[in-house]
Amino acid sequence: MAPFDTELMTINASDSELRSHVEEAELPPLLPALAYATGDLTLLREDLRPDPTLAAMPQGGLSPDQQATIRELAVRALGRFRDAGSVPAPPPSEDQLLMMMEHTVGARDMSAYLPLLEEELAYRGEDRRAPTWRKDALAPERELTVAVIGAGMSGLLVGHRLRQAGVPFVILEKDGDVGGTWLENSYPGCRVDNPNHNYSYSFAQRHDWPYHFSTQDVLLEYFKKCADDFGIRPFIRFNTEVLSAAWDDAAQRWELRVRHGDLEETLSAHVVISAVGQLNRPRYPTEIEGFGSFSGPAFHSARWRHDVDLEGRRIAVIGTGASAIQFIPEIARLAGKVTVFQRTPPWLAPTPDYHAEVSRGQQWLYRHVPAYSEFNRFSIFWKMGDGVLANVRVDPSYPPRHNAVSAANDLVRTMLEGYLRSQLADRPDLLEQVIPSYPPGAKRMLRDNGIWPATLKRDNVRLVTDEIAAITPAGVRTTDGTEHQADILIYGTGFQASSFLAPMRICGRAGIDLHDHWSGEPRAYLGITIPGFPNFFCLYGPNTNIVINGSIIYFSECGVRYIMGCLELLLRTGKTAMEVRKDIHDEFNERVDAENRRMAWGWSDVRSWYKNASGRVSQNWPFTLLEYWQQTLRPDPGHYELS
Ligand code: NAP
């Protein structure tokens, strides 16, 4: 089922209209899409391949001459396609598809990616990741119930899959609606920082995203529509918070304690799937002296107080992470004065179209050129993921430096520093404050279209880099003794990311408490399953986050397929419980830890939410996206103890 209208339209445009649409095209995926549409593989000219090392550059780093030639070829191919009635050629063979994929990103020897591409293309609403089995065919008499915690992006996805497989389930959601992070984060300026043509379900792609990086309201509507179209709202219990879950070994079930308003009750399920995410509990800087003493309104970015009027007020903001640099430019337009407290400056990835609407020409191409939108999705997948992973990997032979981990990383650093210098050439004082001293990729890189430097330059904005000594009733005092007075205090201080599954109490076999078991070191096998916790699965669990801005929806789709494979295994074998072997789990985590230490975010000692208190990288997946896909295709029964 394709919940969004991805039907292609017949081309009636004149040659000059075609030319003007192509003028606005994202070029690297255009010739491969036209080769797909027309069957004309001569379009995939060797001299028009993007250079894979420039994948992340505008237009894939294609030279102006290459761009002009591609446009010319594209206009002619589109004209021929139109004149032949807009009838797509027969689907390409696998070899041909591989040629198209490799041409899109310029890389070679990508055959391992081919099956992944075929799934991601999800051409015309196909759903190649749907379960291929149904419970009523596999084990009709068997009682198997599933409780899912959370109705955000991952919870909706797993609900959809359970419904497709005919497995009874309930989704328990603490909020009053679906959407998770896109429901809770309503701060001004909130938008996705991964392009929507990639940040969307593979089987529910839209060709008509209004922006490249859509705003929170658009994302929330997307997930609400998915919930409706998937038909899973009736399975969600809203305003129902899970307090605890305990495994009953005798009954081979989980007992869940839930709260609904003032009422508490116990539910039971054979399987529990946590879809609570990593970023849903705000982190307040309680470590700062005087926290809580501020006399005016004080709130967190994820708990925005829309009732507080910001017009003309003095606002203090703590933090310059992904949330803060989205809302500060917005509030600076209203406020009398904004004082920004920065502890560590972010690297900024220049993104000219960050706030731009998708142009008319580009929209037209998505609606009229078969597979253009899908090849564009793959191009984004590559250039924000596996295609640039080498740039953040530590080169052990590279001379140790605090701000680069390899020659390639240093090249990126030089480019990013050049961007900051160009934006703040007139403000050397600010420049000194904003150039990071750590390698690109050690913290999350933030997107910028010029708005952040422009905001810092405003007369009513002051960037403070002196350390915070205390929060006072009147504002924020820094260690130099200055009291920065404010009427309103906003925390852009992030989330309790390392406290996975908190504040829920999860007790597994023999009553062992998951948080005691972890003792501050959350780990799981594939981010999904934990020894001692039978039939308990996580989505967006430990070590499934990505730094260089791939789509977390991709991880959820892989994880959900794996979990569905586990349910299939239980049903096929007639076993009641499955628990990952400790040796498999431990060996996996050793590999993850070793590889994370070889990545910029694990090598650098800069502070980030990717690490837990001991400094272990508990959030990130250090390998390729392809490897996560390969490892989660299906569970290996040999990795589990089945009871
Ligand atoms: P964050 O990246 O963790 O940023 C928190 C900020 O608060 C940092 O600048 C941090 O400084 C500062 N801070 C924390 N405690 C402090 C203290 N005691 N004193 C001074 N400064 C303090 O949190 P976030 O901005 O909410 O973003 C979290 C994640 O959410 C992002 O990385 C991203 O994955 C996701 N997100 C995504 C989007 C999007 O897609 N559009 C938007 C927002 C968030 P340090 O850097 O020194 O720690």
Q: What is the CATH number of the domain that holds 191?
A: 3.50.50.60
> Considering the chain, what percentage of its residues have pLDDT values greater than 90?
94
* Last residue in a domain, options 429, 464, 491: 491
What are the pLDDT digits (tens) for 554-598?
999 999 999 999 999 999 999 999 999 999 999 999 999 999 999
What's the sign of the alpha-carbon dihedral 131, 6, 377, 184? negative
Q: Where is average pLDDT lowest: 56-60, 152-156, 486-490, 492-496?
A: 56-60
Residue 190 lies in a domain: yes
Residue 563 lies in a domain: yes
84 and 207 in a single domain? The answer is no
The residue nearest atom 46 of ligand 1, judged by CA position, is 344
Residue 135 lies in a domain: no
The residue nearest atom 14 of ligand 1, judged by CA position, is 493
Residue 292 lies in a domain: no
Q: Residue 218 and residue 213: Cα distance in Å, rounded? A: 10
Mean pLDDT of 378-393: 94
352 has pLDDT over 80: yes
445 and 541 in a single domain? The answer is no
DSSP string, 68-137: HHHHHHHHHHHHHHHHTTSPPPPPPPHHHHHHHHHHHH-----GGGHHHHHHHH-GGG--TTS-S--HHH
pLDDT band at 290 (very low <50, low <70, confident <90, very high): very high
376 and 422 in a single domain? The answer is no
- Out of 185, 343, 479, mutate this one to test ligand 1's pocket (max ligand atoms within 8 Å of CB): namely 343
Residue 201 lies in a domain: yes
* Last residue in a domain, options 433, 460, 491: 491
Residues with CB under 6 A from ligand 1: 191-193, 279, 285, 287-288, 301, 318-324, 326, 341, 343-344, 444, 468, 492-495, 607, 609
**What's the confidence (pLDDT) of residue 117?**
87
The residue nearest atom 41 of ligand 1, judged by CA position, is 192
- 45 Cα–ligand 1 center, Å: 44
| Angle separating helix axes 30-38 and 64-83, nearest 10 degrees | 20
**What's the confidence (pLDDT) of residue 5?**
65
Q: Which atom of ligand 1 is nearest to the CA of 288?
A: 18
pLDDT band at 2 (very low <50, low <70, confident <90, very high): very low
340 and 441 in a single domain? The answer is yes
**What's the confidence (pLDDT) of residue 280?**
86
What are the pLDDT digits (tens) for 110-121?
999 999 988 888
Q: What range does the domain containing 197 cover? A: 140-281+497-634
479 and 442 in a single domain? The answer is yes
Mean pLDDT of 500-528: 96
Q: How many domains does the chain have?
A: 3
Residue 393 lies in a domain: no
What are the pLDDT digits (tens) for 16-64?
999 999 999 999 999 999 999 999 999 999 999 999 988 888 899 999 9
**What's the confidence (pLDDT) of residue 1?**
40
232 and 187 in a single domain? The answer is yes
**What's the confidence (pLDDT) of residue 550?**
84
217 and 335 in a single domain? The answer is no
304 and 429 in a single domain? The answer is yes
What are the pLDDT digits (tens) for 464-488?
999 999 999 999 999 999 999 999 9
The residue nearest atom 5 of ligand 1, judged by CA position, is 493
206 and 344 in a single domain? The answer is no
75 and 48 in a single domain? The answer is yes
Q: Which helix (H) or strand (E) holds 260?
A: strand 253-260
Residues 6 or more apart from 333 whose CB is under 8 A from it? none
> Under a CB-based contact definition with an 8 Å cutoff, are residues 364 and 227 in contact?
no
Residue 3 lies in a domain: no
What are the pLDDT digits (tens) for 76-91?
999 999 999 999 999 8
State the average pLDDT for the chain. 96
- 344 Cα–ligand 1 center, Å: 10
What are the pLDDT digits (tens) for 183-241?
999 999 999 999 999 999 999 999 899 999 999 999 999 999 999 999 999 999 999 99
Q: Which helix (H) or strand (E) holds 189?
A: none
312 and 447 in a single domain? The answer is yes
> Considering the chain, what percentage of its residues have pLDDT values greater than 70?
99
Q: What are phi and psi of 104, to 5 degrees?
A: -60, -40
DSSP string, 16-36: HHHHHHHHT--STTHHHHHHH
- 294 Cα–ligand 1 center, Å: 21
27 and 71 in a single domain? The answer is yes
Mean pLDDT of 137-154: 98
Q: Where is average pLDDT lowest: 34-38, 125-129, 452-456, 526-530?
A: 125-129
- 100 Cα–ligand 1 center, Å: 39
Mean pLDDT of 313-325: 98
Residue 291 lies in a domain: no
Q: Residue 105 and residue 31: Cα distance in Å, rounded? A: 11
